[in-house]
Structure 1
């Protein structure tokens, strides 16, 4: 199983974000991203919300850095770590616009983009953006098919139920004609969407036994990723609990862990990132000689 990082600072959920994150800025985020890159973490993440109603912010939070701007900035400051949207709400975007914007990011980053996508659940935000909430599932399916066709192609063509484009030139485009789609969600339908149209499933808020039960209803293709989150890990303070949590996640079917950590400040978080790699030395960390020299 490989490990990615749920990026701090860029999303601040009530009850989960550390106090220091409220005053953190771009350089704090860069230091964490560079450290994770040197250690060999598979990916880092950034989520999407445009505008959250105040009553909803009490549970979902109100801090959401824009993923395209944030991941583009981090792409310039890192070398190997993948850049994952967790998740883009497909109904907020035309698929050709996503192929252009994130395809450009893929070009700039050397092919490091992974598109985490979802159908969305916040009706007020759909209304704010003039997007269809009732049709969001079928529109998401059509968007995924259109985005697959458009990715990395200078002259894309697609004719679907909701999206159609032809006789158009998209330059620049992604440097490759394949990209991994990790589908978010917590329903059986989200898993089936992931198996049919994507390369991975990235559920949230599900107990391990529920994940196992849902995975038992499908036959994922070879190489299919299941990306799970355990809650905040504390490899420095409680390595035994960290071992149990990661093991439970792996037994639930995870091929990838979205790791978050208990941390009191930036330096504590950096130490926690390092400690996890030492607790799981065989997890496929792509540590470089420079990383070994620089990591405390």
Structure 2
């Protein structure tokens, strides 16, 4: 099982955030990322939204980073930990520009970048950026194909409805081959089919943990899946947040479980096909207590997880 380090103040989601997290600065995050790197955490993942419509502020909060910029910065501040997103909203970004940004960061970090793409769900955000919300799935599929073409072809060429290019050069290519890992976030059948065709991982959000094995089987039954190694992400606290960022009570995902409870739940998730998870932080009073708990997780819990 790989462990994600849940870096605080990547967002201020009322369903999950503690009040003190709003005071965490970029400098604090940099120090915490270096601790996670030194302790042996496998990954830091960065959420993304560009704008939040005011009618969603109560549930979603206003604070989100641009995922690729934050990933690149954190890669430069660390030595070995991998940098992912959760998620990068693909239809809201030009695929050539995004492909260049991710390839640049992978090149500069020596191959530590990953990306989790999603189609987005917040219509007002699409409206603000002038992107047709109802076409976001088709846009994402086309952008994904174009990005892979740019990353893997010596003479990239693409002719689509939303993006076209020909007779161009594109370098640097990602250090990782054939390209940096692409994961897909989302729970709808369309997202899972996208994962089967393009991805080496799936990040579940609304899927109940007892349904994960069934959904992984769905992915692997698709024509686009070729038997490649495939990661599945489900954090222990994931289902505390429902659709639209509504808080949900989930007795199986409460923060502050005992060591034995955490180990049992992580091992059970592993049996469902989960390969990457995160342990929710219980109520603490600030950065130092947060780091103490995170260090306890990696030193005491991880060795007991299969």
| Same fold, judged at TM 0.5 (above) | yes
Q: Which residue in 1 is equivalent to 2:247?
A: none
Residues 87-96 or 160-169, more deviating: 160-169
For residues 61-82 of structure 1, give each alpha carbon's deviation from its aligned partner in whole angstroms, at most 9, with x where no partner exists: 2211222232222111101111
What is the TM-score of this pair, normalised by structure 1?
A: 0.88
Q: 1:146/1:14 Cα in 2 relative to 1: closer, same or farther (>3 Å)?
A: same
Q: How does 1:144-159 map to 2 (within 5 A)?
A: 144-151=144-151, 155-159=155-159
* Cα deviation 1:1-60 (Å, max 9, x = unaligned): 111123211112103112221111011101211111111111101111111012212112
Asked if the contact 2:44/2:81 (under 8 Å) is kept, the reply is: yes
Q: Does structure 2 conserve the Cα–Cα contact (< 8 Å) formed by 1:41 and 1:81?
A: yes
Q: Is the 8 A contact 2:159 2:165 kept in 1?
A: yes
Match of 1:293 in 2: none
For 1:6, what is the secondary structure of its paired residue? coil
Measured at CA, do residues 233 and 148 of structure 1 come closer, stay the same or move farther in structure 2, by a change above 3 Å? Answer: farther
TM-score by length of 2: 0.86
Q: CA deviation at 1:120?
A: 0.6
More off after superposition, 237-246 vs 89-98: 237-246
Is 1:239 the equivalent of 2:259? yes
Alignment match, 1:229: 235
Give the aligned partner of residue 185 of structure 1: 186
- Mapped to 1, the partners of 2:8 and 2:151 lie a distance apart of 29
The DSSP-based 3-state class of the residue aligned with 1:59 is helix
CA distance in 2, matches of 1:122, 1:200: 23
1:281 correspondence with 2:282: no
The equivalent of 2:246 in structure 1 is none
Other-structure match for 1:260: 280
What displacement does 1:166 show?
Answer: 1.3
Aligned-pair Cα RMSD in Å: 2.1
Report the secondary structure of 2:207's partner residue: coil
Distance 2:7 2:147 in 1: 25
Runs of 4+ with >6 A deviation? none
2:241 counterpart residue number: none
**In 2, distance between residues paired with 1:163 and 1:130?**
16
Alpha-carbon distance, 1:186 to partner? 1.5
Is the CA contact (8 Å cut-off) linking 1:208 and 1:248 kept in structure 2?
Answer: no
User: Structure 1 residues 145-154 or 42-51, which shifts more?
Assistant: 145-154
Quote the residue 1:287 is aligned against. none
Per-residue deviation at 1:142? 1.2
Aligned residues: 283
Deviation, structure 1 residue 156: 2.4
Which consecutive residues of structure 1, in runs of 5 or more, have no partner in the other structure?
A: 285-296
Structure 2, gaps ≥5 residues long = 238-252
Larger RCO (alpha carbons 8 Å, 6+ apart) = 1
